[in-house]
Every structure is written in structure tokens, then in C-alpha cells.
Structure 1
Amino acid sequence: MRVVAELPHPECKITIFSMNMKYIIKFEQGTLEQTYKLSEMDLINGVDSVFELLDEDFIKRVSARFQDMRADFMTTWKKYN
């Protein structure tokens, strides 16, 4: 797996990888991560198509999902502590 690009963003770290004819988009925020995989064959402009997909609306939804993930984990964590 090789890093194709890293996109700066104030709310999360965004890294794009290439592996086995797929682009892997990884969002990281603290101890949580979200990963999305896309076939390179489905993207006409290669990695530039990935950049087009990562608009601000999508990133806001990813950030909201991180909040939900954190809340879900904390609820579970509190049951066992």
C-alpha cells in the first residue's frame, strides 16, 4: 500500500492510498478512523476523481459520523467501567 496524497483538514487527517487497483480513503480523528474503498477502474480521472468526491459536504458528514462513533463507544465503555 502506498500513500498517494494527504489532504490537510482542520477536523481530521485525510490520507489516500493506492493498493490492488483500489484507492483507499482514510479519515482519522483521534483514536477513530473511517475507511472508504474505490476501484481505480470506476474513476475516469484517477486520483483527481477522488479529490472531487471529497467535497466539504461529504467531509462534514464524515465529521458528524465521528461524533456518533465516539458517543457510541463512550456509551459502551461506561457499561464496563
Structure 2
Amino acid sequence: MQIVQYIPHPRYKITVFKSGRRYIVKFDDADHDLSLKFREGEVDGLKDVVSQVNQELLEEIDQVFETLSSFRMSRYQRSSKRFPDII
């Protein structure tokens, strides 16, 4: 797998990889990452992959990351109540 492009964004690190016959677009923020995979027949090359990363997709990624953050915080709050304070 090799990095073929970075897509600039103020909040996310967006990296496009080429792996065999597919492209992978990885979105990273401070706490989460999400990858989308495109097979060779689904897109017409790198330009098409990059064009898929539009405002609509980024808004959906925002929602997914917000959901993951809420889930993570609820899990953390539950797990922190399991153990008594040790003095």
C-alpha cells in the first residue's frame, strides 16, 4: 500500500492510498479514523477518488465522528465507575 495523495482539510488528515486494485481514503482526527475503500471498477482513477471527497461526504464524516465520540465518552464514563478510588 502506498500513499498517492494528501487532501488538505482544516480538521482532518485525509490520506489517499493505492493498494493493489483499490483506493483507500483515510480520514483521521485526534481520536478516530475512518477508511473508505473504492475498487478499481467503482472509480475512474485518482481524480475520481479525490472528487468523491466533497462537502456532502465531509458532513457525513463529521456525523460519524460525533457519534463515535459520544459512544467513546459513554463507554469511558461507564468504565470509570467500575473501580473504587484507591487511597
Please state whether the residue corresponding to 1:10 is helix, strand or coil: coil
Shift, 1:11, TM fit: 1.7
Counterpart amino acid of residue 22 in structure 1? R
Q: TM-score, normalised by structure 2?
A: 0.86
Moved over 2 A (4+): none
- Taking the TM superposition and a 5 Å limit, the aligned residue runs for 1:45-60 are 46-60=45-59
Please state whether the residue corresponding to 1:43 is helix, strand or coil: coil
Counterpart amino acid of residue 48 in structure 2? S
More strand by share: 1
C-alpha distance in structure 1 between counterparts of 2:24 and 2:57, whole Å:
16
Task: Number of aligned residue pairs: give it.
Answer: 80
Q: TM-score, normalised by structure 1?
A: 0.92
Aligned-pair identity in percent equals 24
Larger radius of gyration: 2
Q: 2:21 aligns to what?
A: 21
Q: 1:79 aligns to what?
A: 78
Q: 1:3 aligns to what?
A: 3
Structure 2: 5+ residue runs without aligned partners? 81-87
Q: Contact (CA 8 Å) 1:11, 1:63: kept in 2 or not?
A: no
Please state whether the residue corresponding to 1:41 is helix, strand or coil: coil
1:26-74 CA-partner distances (Å, limit 9, x unpaired) = 0001120001101022212x01001111111111110121111011011
More helix by share: 1
Structure 1: 5+ residue runs without aligned partners? none
C-alpha distance in structure 1 between counterparts of 2:49 and 2:59, whole Å:
16
Instruction: Kindly report the root-mean-square deviation, in angstroms, between the aligned alpha carbons of the 2 structures.
Output: 0.9
